[in-house]
Amino acid sequence: MDKQTTHFGYEEVPVEEKAGRVEQVFDSVARRYDIMNDLMSMGVHRFWKRVVMERSGVRRGHTVLDLAGGTGDLTAKFVERVGPTGRVVLADINASMLQVGRDRLMDRGIGAQVEIVQADAQALPFPDNTFDCITIAFGLRNVTDKDAALASMTRVLKPGGRLLILEFSKPVNAVFEKVYDQYSFHVLPRIGKWVANDADSYRYLAESIRMHPDQPTLKAMMENAGLERVEYTNMTGGVVALHRGIKF
């Protein structure tokens, strides 16, 4: 793969095409995204996100960026944590996902407390040293230039601020990995076809997980971006990993 191309799942595509291809995927799945998350993970994604909240260190008065926050489930939890003196920004590059997030936050009665921003993780439109905490859950693998995104996130963190990346990763057990592969490439697209009438998008999502950096590689990328005390926690046998780093 040269500098002019990148991965879209297992396919090699021109760099300038990836963002548009990813946008098409999430335009297609936006309205069924939360239902699919429950079905795909058998509800376990809710546990993974609870761990994010526990490790975030967010408290009243903090400023939080929920990046690639889509339908806003983490955003809603952060609104409760920061209280009326805090600030929560829901950002996503995809307008369809943001619309779903906006609608659901309004339904919960907290839409007015959230700033909603359409933004590219590779070039965040915020001043330096803005946020006490940034989370990106299941979004980094879809970013074309992950190093640029990590640098951008580090830039807008306050000194002492935390970046938490929740992402599908590499299972630590070889037998479990084979079962997981069978599920991802055979069962998942069928669920996508049944629920969202879109097998191809969920096949891409499975492929994008396999192309994402493994746990030690992502840890090194975060350190290269300037974060310190970087650590990761495997969950569900490494199917998902939570990486956390601090800006000093």
Q: pLDDT per residue over 136-179, tens digit each?
A: 999 999 899 999 999 999 999 999 999 999 998 999 998 888 88
d(CA 132, CA 153): 11
Residue 181 is assigned to a ligand binding site? no
| Close Cβ partners of 204 (under 8 Å, ≥ 6 residues apart) | 8, 9, 25
Percent of the chain whose pLDDT exceeds 90: 61
Q: Is residue 159 part of a domain?
A: yes
Q: Is residue 39 part of a domain?
A: no
Report pLDDT for 99.
Answer: 92
Residue 72 token pair: 């806003």
Task: Provide the CATH number for the domain around residue 114.
Answer: 3.40.50.150
Written as one letter, the residue type at 234 is N
- Is the pTM value of this prediction over 0.75? yes
Q: pLDDT per residue over 24-49, tens digit each?
A: 766 666 666 666 666 667 778 889 99
Q: Is residue 174 part of a domain?
A: no
Q: pLDDT per residue over 47-72, tens digit each?
A: 999 999 999 999 999 999 999 998 89
Specify the number of domains making up the chain.
1
**pLDDT(230) > 50:** yes
Q: pLDDT per residue over 94-140, tens digit each?
A: 998 899 999 999 999 999 999 999 999 999 999 999 999 999 999 99
The DSSP 8-state label assigned to residue 185 in this structure reads I
Report pLDDT for 22.
Answer: 67
Report pLDDT for 79.
Answer: 97
**pLDDT(1) > 60:** no
Q: Is residue 188 part of a domain?
A: no
Domain carrying residue 159? 47-168+215-246
**pLDDT(207) > 90:** no
Q: Once rounded to an integer, what is the mean pLDDT over residues 14-28?
A: 75
More confident residue, 189 or 128: 128
Q: Is residue 89 part of a domain?
A: yes
Q: Is residue 124 part of a domain?
A: yes
One DSSP character per residue, 65-119 reads EEET-TT-HHHHHHHHHH-TTSEEEEEES-HHHHHHHHHHHHHTT-GGGEEEEE-
Residue 2 is assigned to a ligand binding site? no
Residue 121 is assigned to a ligand binding site? yes
Mean residue pLDDT of the chain comes to 89
Residue 107 is assigned to a ligand binding site? no
